[in-house]
Amino acid sequence: MSLHVPIETMAALPSLSRPSTAMDYSTDSLRFHLPKPNYLPHIPDFDEPGIVKEYVRPLDRASDENYAKYYAKCRRTAEETGITRPRGYKVSFHCNPEMEKHHFGNAHPMKPWRLTLSKSLIYSYGMSFAMDTYVSRAATYEELAMFHASDYLDYLATVPPEAEPRDVDGSAGELIFNLGGSDCPLFEGLFNYCSMSAGTSLDAAKKVCAGQSDIAIAWGGGLHHAKKSEASGFCYINDIVVAILQLLRCFPRVLYIDIDVHHGDGVEEAFFSSDRVMTVSLHKYEPTNFFPGTGALDDNGPKSDLNPGAHHTINVPLQDGITDGQYEFLFNDVIGRCVEKFRPSVIALQCGADSLAGDRLGRFNLQVQGHGACVAFCKRTGIPMVLFGGGGYTPRNVARAWTYETSIAINCQDRISPVIPPHTPWRSQFRQESLFPTLEEVLGDPRMNKNTDKRLREIVQHVTEQLRFVEAAPSVQFQVIPPNLGPIRDEVEERLWEERQERDEDLRRERETAVGTEGEM
């Protein structure tokens, strides 16, 4: 099986994006997209031998005794480093261990196992003691249908798995909904995997909606390329769009920020015509050579000012080799301005880790600290936030980044040891003991930085001009009311009612157990 799709097969891939906006206002949203270069590189990348570690099988389930020992070590680590629940706000962590067992195929760069590695590092640091941790249920068909077309969902739910991608021998044949090629293979349990990913993101969004979390973490989500009726770039279901639709039921304005190395095209397109969602994507941009080829600086939403979505799309196109310092400057400046002008009531931050140095597909020189600085900046705004995962194809570095970012969420980033805890499962997979390996350790020679400071200033200038058109905190924001607003409010009410009942029940039980004790007789 080869990862590398011959260039001829590109013709068989859809070259026009389908009109799949969630909130269409006019034909403005039927945008022309350049033909997409395939997500997987066409030319073998010989200059980075050994960066990718092959898939590692999860260990067998630990015995109760071993698990108890591991748990005790995690707890001790938390106590020794002073990891406690953050003061004044709540963080929740949403995952579905069943999702992590899925397998795209040995040669495919997407390894759901990276979620297991991330979670095990997070838990080994003892961070689970500082958060509410939830095992999410899978999203239902109806929940996925809040965004996705039913013919697409029906197909996705029923198509049988295929052992080999259809384009493996250079002849893709017909790809229905862009499924079954090297990028989006039809693997065993695909629909379950997608539903579980969307379930974690939706769960996280619901916790924030209900005011039960201020920061909700869903590292299993973040699959930003999926379209309404089309799989794309390893993404089948756009869990982010589903989660944002949920957030829109409770919050007037959502700021979506995407720091994956690839353009967040699926989310941008879904909310293209909406002024209730501003999308900001920082990504490598090379129209003909890097997936998905969209996201130019002057792509700022619908061209017509009559469309409410005009100027609500911000794109920050970057070149190879950007450093922590440059990225932080850009991120803080651009996001600072967006927050000031748009006044979001909630932030949805996609933390794709393929923007890290040494990623199998990425091209930047970002380190764990620089990637995490974006999460820290958003957190400092004090706005409720959902953190999604995303890309990330060198599992050990994905795990480092998402662990560090979890520590930022719970405000213990300054207390955790920079040395990976000795009891961390699969510790040898991390190669270096440090949570923060140097660029030289990760890459050998860092990539050449093709981003000039002059270009970065031009980007800031352009974004500033765009934002002049954005009304500061528009007061009337409910022109587009997501479907079924009533039932969701009812659902929240119902949840609160249940909680009250539970509390009453606890009280009742306390009273009952007290009956017959000395004092009362």
Could you give the CA distance from residue 196 to residue 185 in angstroms, rounded to a whole number? Answer: 17
Residue 311 phi, psi (nearest 5):
70, 5
- Is the peptide bond preceding residue 292 cis, with omega within 30 degrees of 0? yes
Could you give the CA distance from residue 430 to residue 305 in angstroms, rounded to a whole number? Answer: 50
Residue 410, both tokens: 């719970």
Residue among 262 and 360 whose Cβ is closer to Zn ion:
262
> Where on the chain is the footprint of Zn ion (CB under 5 A)?
260, 262, 352, 354, 391
Which of the residues 94, 103, 148, 225 is marked catalytic? 225
Residue among 308 and 395 whose Cβ is closer to Zn ion:
395
DSSP state of 227: B
Element (H, E) at 385: strand 385-388
CB of 291 to Zn ion, least distance (A): 8
Residue 415, SS3 per DSSP: coil
Could you give the CA distance from residue 165 to residue 104 in angstroms, rounded to a whole number? Answer: 10
Note whether 90 and 212 are within 8 A (CB).
yes
Other C-beta atoms lying within 10 Å of the C-beta of residue 512: 9
Residue 73, both tokens: 């070590």
Q: Hey, which residues does 349 pair with through a beta bridge?
A: 257, 387
Residue among 245 and 353 whose Cβ is closer to Zn ion:
353
Residue 248, both tokens: 């829109």
Q: Which residue's CB comes closest to Zn ion?
A: 391
Could you give the CA distance from residue 392 to residue 394 in angstroms, rounded to a whole number? Answer: 6
Could you give the CA distance from residue 125 to residue 400 in angstroms, rounded to a whole number? Answer: 11
Residue among 128 and 365 whose Cβ is closer to Zn ion:
365
Residue 144, SS3 per DSSP: helix
DSSP state of 2: -
Residue among 225 and 379 whose Cβ is closer to Zn ion:
225
Residue 422's alpha-carbon distances to 8, 268, 308, 369, 433, in angstroms, are 49, 42, 53, 21, 9
CB of 229 to Zn ion, least distance (A): 21
Residue among 203 and 265 whose Cβ is closer to Zn ion:
265
At position 316, the amino acid (one-letter code) is V
Could you give the CA distance from residue 166 to residue 102 in angstroms, rounded to a whole number? Answer: 20
Residue among 249 and 284 whose Cβ is closer to Zn ion:
284
At position 216, the amino acid (one-letter code) is A
CB of 41 to Zn ion, least distance (A): 13
- Catalytic, 42? Answer no
DSSP state of 54: P
Residue among 126 and 352 whose Cβ is closer to Zn ion:
352
Side-chain half-sphere exposure of 245, counting CA atoms within 13 A: 24
Residues designated as active site: 225
